[in-house]
A = this chain, B = another copy of it.
Amino acid sequence: MDKNIPLIRKLGAFIALSESELSFLASLHKRRRTFAVGSDLVHQGQPDQAAYVLDSGWACSYKLLENGQRQIVDFQIPGDFLGLRSLLLNVSDHGIEPVTDIKVTKICATDFLNALEHTPRLATAVLWAMSCDEATVVERLVDVGRRNSTERVAHFLLELGARLTLVGLGSTDGYACPLTQYLLADALGLSAVHVNRVLRQLREEGMVTFQNGFVDFDNYDQLVNFAGFEQSYMDKAGQLRY
């Protein structure tokens, strides 16, 4: 079975998957689609009967306010679910758009609910994946609620690095990052102008450089210390325990 399918790699890190579970996941993998930047996968408010798994590229989920502002809730990287919550809640309370061109695998509601009933261990794994998602949203809430702009940006870049490292797309040296300063601003509750200033400051202080689509950790330890970054919850999240 192909261990390089991102979803299998991800769920497999939590539970040992049986043959039938693996083959179910692999069968899902047939239904693939491509979305280009600018073409939303899911619109906020749309009654939604499908979720996706992100195979390649980056996406983001966001909420729009009446006044035209938006809050990006989370960025998704390969292996992540897209719109899982809207599948259970019946209506999408958020929109999802690609950050880069992406490839996804579609999961329709009935298949998914069937799978939960017939492969209960898979249900546990999905529950675990959802716990991880929720943990990163909580982390974003703490960023926005209690850290000043500099700590906030620093912490965000570190957390993203840790997530990417788990799927082999980053290290403590840095990572390729297709986000614009505008996206960063929408995620962190700052203005783009201010994000720019903060990035400059972090660069001048020799901690991180985010330029030309790359995040370089110039002084990882100093940055971790400055941002008050606790990665324990991410370490554990990747552990096999069941």
Contact = CB atoms under 8 A, between A and B. Distances in A.
A69 to B, nearest CB: 5
B141 A233 contact: no
B71 A145 contact: yes
Contact of A137 (B67, B141, B188, B242): B141
Interface in A39-78: 45, 63, 65-67, 69-71, 73
How many copies of the chain does the oligomer comprise? 2
Given A85-B135, A145-B144, A117 B113 contact: no
A37 interface: no
Interface of A: 45, 63, 65-67, 69-71, 73, 84-85, 88-91, 93-94, 113, 116-118, 120-121, 123-124, 126-128, 130-135, 137-138, 140-142, 144-147, 188-189, 228, 232-233, 236-237, 239, 241-242
> Chain A: interface secondary structure?
helix
A232 B45 contact: yes
B90 A241 contact: yes
Contact of A131 (B63, B71, B85, B242): B85
27 contacts: A63-B142, A69-B146, A71-B146, A73-B138, A73-B142, A85-B131, A85-B135, A88-B127, A88-B128, A88-B131, A89-B128, A89-B233, A90-B241, A91-B236, A113-B242, A116-B123, A116-B127, A117-B120, A117-B121, A120-B120, A123-B124, A127-B127, A130-B134, A133-B134, A137-B138, A137-B141, A140-B141
